[in-house]
C-alpha cells in the first residue's frame, strides 16, 4: 500500500468489506506487550466491526521477558507464534519477514498494527507493505536524531511505509510533517503505554515487592540498562558501573539486569565485581506490575529505556536517562526526565542534584490519560463502513 490521502486515509480498501475487519496486531519484545494490551482490549470490545488477531514474533522469549506479561496484562494467547531466530539483527529481521509473510498469506488481514521501534515492528510492517496490506504504526514520529541507534532506523523505515500513523506528542507530529507525511495519515491519540500503566497501577500497589526485597519506599534507586551503545562496549559499561559503584554508597540500588546486559556482564567478567558491592543488588528482570511498584516508590530511576522515561514522567519519579539523546523530549519538557549522558562524573553530579531537589507533582503531557487506545480504535471505527 501507499499512503491514502483523504479524510480517512485507510478507508478505500476497507470500505467495501462485508463483516468485521480483520486486524493483525503484532508484538514481539518486552515493551510491545504493554502497548498492544489496551489496543486489543478496545478492538475486542467492538466485535461487530473488528476481528483482532495477535501475532507474537517470539523476539523475546524468556518467561520474565514475555509470558509473564500475558498473565499480568490479561492478554489473549497469541493466535500465531513465530519463534523468531535470535542472533544478528539481519538474521532476526529476515526470519520474522519470511514467517510473517506466511501468516499474511494464510490469514490475509485488512490491516496490520505494529507498535514501537523494535526489529519485530519494522519486519512485520515491511512484510505487510510488500503484500499490499495497510499498516498502522503506533508510537509514530519519535526521533532521536541518532541513526547509530538501531531503533531510530526502525522508526524511520516503519513510519516511511505506514499508512496510518498514531502519535502521542506534538513533537512526533512535527517530525512526521517535516518528513512530508500527509496530515490526513497522522492521528494524535495519546500514549497507549500509559493506558496500561493507569489500568494496572492499583493492582501494582497491592504487591509486596518492596517488603520482599527489604527496601523502604523512597529510599532506593532503580536501574535498568540495555542499549547496545551502553552495555555492549566494555569502556562505556565500565564507566556507568563506576558511577553506580560510587552512587550506591549514598543510595541503595536495585539493578534489574536485562538479558543482553546480564550476558555482557558475564562475558566482560564484571558480574562478580558488582555482586561484591554492599548496597547494589543485581537482580533478574521483574514482571510489569512489580516494575510499576518499584518505579513508583523509587527515590530515583537511572535508565536507558524508552518506556521507563515515559512511566516515570507519569509517576512523577525523578529519572536520569543515561544517553546523549532521547526520541522522547516530551518526558523532559512535561516530565521528570533529565538527559545525563554516560560520563561517570556527569551521572554522579546529576544523581546528587536529583537527591537534593524537592519532588514535585507530575504534569503528564496531554492525552497521556488512560484513553489512548479507545481514541485509536475510534479512528479505525470511523473508517469502517457502518453496519
Q: Which residues have a catalytic role annotated? A: 226
CB of 72 to ligand UD1, least distance (A): 16
Site for ligand UD1 in 8-47 (CB under 6 A): 29-31
Contact partner at residue 286 from ligand UD1, ligand UDP, none, CB < 5 to 8 Å by partner kind: ligand UDP
- Do 352 and 246 contact (CB within 8 A), yes or no? no
Q: How many residues does the chain have?
A: 387
Gyration radius of the chain's alpha carbons: 21
Cell numbers given for 272: 562478580
Site for ligand UD1 in 249-308 (CB under 6 A): 258-260, 263
118 near ligand UD1, rule: CB under 6 A: yes
286 near ligand UDP, rule: CB under 6 A: yes
Site for ligand UDP in 301-330 (CB under 6 A): 305-308, 311
Contact partner at residue 256 from ligand UDP, ligand UD1, none, CB < 5 to 8 Å by partner kind: ligand UDP
CB of 29 to ligand UD1, least distance (A): 4
160 near ligand UD1, rule: CB under 6 A: no
Among 57, 119, 295, 297, binds ligand UD1 (CB under 6 A): 119
Burial 261-294 (b: 16+ CB within 10 A, else e): bbebbeebebeeebeebeebbbeebbbbbbbbbb
Contact partner at residue 34 from ligand UD1, ligand UDP, none, CB < 5 to 8 Å by partner kind: ligand UDP
Question: Within a 10 A sphere around the Cβ of 16, how many other Cβ atoms?
Answer: 8
Question: Within a 10 A sphere around the Cβ of 5, how many other Cβ atoms?
Answer: 10
Among 103, 256, 274, 317, binds ligand UDP (CB under 6 A): 256
Q: Where are the beta strands (DSSP E) in the chain?
A: 21-27, 50-56, 80-81, 111-115, 135-138, 164-167, 186-188, 220-225, 252-257, 280-283, 300-303, 319-321, 337-339
Q: Which is nearer to ligand UDP, 141 or 285 (CB)?
A: 285
Amino acid at each position: 500500500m501507499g499512503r491514502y490521502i483523504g479524510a480517512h486515509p485507510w478507508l478505500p480498501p476497507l470500505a467495501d468489506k462485508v463483516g468485521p475487519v480483520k486486524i493483525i496486531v503484532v508484538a514481539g519484545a518486552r515493551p510491545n506487550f504493554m502497548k498492544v494490551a489496551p489496543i486489543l482490549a478496545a478492538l475486542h470490545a467492538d466485535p461487530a466491526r473488528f476481528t483482532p488477531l495477535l501475532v507474537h514474533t517470539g523476539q523475546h522469549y524468556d518467561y520474565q521477558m514475555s509470558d509473564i506479561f500475558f498473565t499480568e496484562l490479561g492478554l489473549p494467547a497469541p493466535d500465531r507464534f513465530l519463534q523468531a531466530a535470535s542472533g544478528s539483527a539481519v538474521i532476526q529481521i529476515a526470519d520474522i519477514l519470511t514467517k510473517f509473510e506466511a501468516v499474511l498469506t494464510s490469514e490475509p488481514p485488512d490491516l496490520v498494527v505494529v507498535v514501537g521501534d523494535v526489529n519485530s515492528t519494522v519486519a512485520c510492517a515491511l512484510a505487510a507493505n510488500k503484500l499490499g496490506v495497510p499498516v498502522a504504526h503506533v508510537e509514530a514520529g519519535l526521533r532521536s536524531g541518532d541513526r547509530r541507534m538501531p531503533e531510530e532506523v526502525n522508526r524511520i523505515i516503519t513510519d516511511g511505509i505506514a499508512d496510518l500513523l498514531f502519535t502521542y506528542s506534538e513533537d512526533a507530529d512535527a517530525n512526521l510533517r517535516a518528513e512530508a507525511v500527509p496530515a490526513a495519515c497522522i492521528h494524535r491519540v495519546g500514549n497507549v503505554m500509559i493506558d496500561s500503566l493507569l489500568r494496572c497501577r492499583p493492582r501494582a500497589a497491592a504487591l509486596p515487592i518492596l517488603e520482599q526485597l527489604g527496601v523502604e519506599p523512597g529510599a532506593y534507586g532503580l536501574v535498568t540498562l540495555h542499549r547496545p551503545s551502553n552495555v555492549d562496549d566494555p569502556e562505556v559499561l565500565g564507566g556507568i558501573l563506576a558511577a553506580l559503584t560510587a552512587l550506591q554508597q549514598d543510595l541503595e540500588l536495585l539493578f534489574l539486569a536485562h538479558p543482553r546486559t546480564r550476558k555482557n556482564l558475564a562475558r566482560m567478567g564484571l558480574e562478580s565485581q558488582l555482586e561484591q558491592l554492599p548496597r547494589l543488588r543485581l537482580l533478574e528482570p521483574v514482571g510489569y506490575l512489580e516494575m510499576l511498584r518499584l518505579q513508583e516508590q523509587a527515590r530515583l530511576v537511572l535508565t536507558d529505556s524508552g518506556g521507563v522515561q515515559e512511566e516515570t514522567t507519569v509517576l512523577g519519579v525523578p529519572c536520569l536517562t543515561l544517553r546523549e539523546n532521547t526520541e522522547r523530549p516530551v518526558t523532559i519538557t512535561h516530565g521528570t526526565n533529565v538527559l545525563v549522558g554516560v560520563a561517570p562524573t556527569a551521572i554522579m553530579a546529576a544523581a546528587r542534584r536529583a537527591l537534593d531537589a524537592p519532588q514535585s507533582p507530575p504534569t503528564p503531557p496531554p492525552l497521556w490519560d488512560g484513553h489512548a487506545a479507545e481514541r485509536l480504535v475510534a479512528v479505525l471505527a470511523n473508517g469502517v463502513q457502518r453496519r
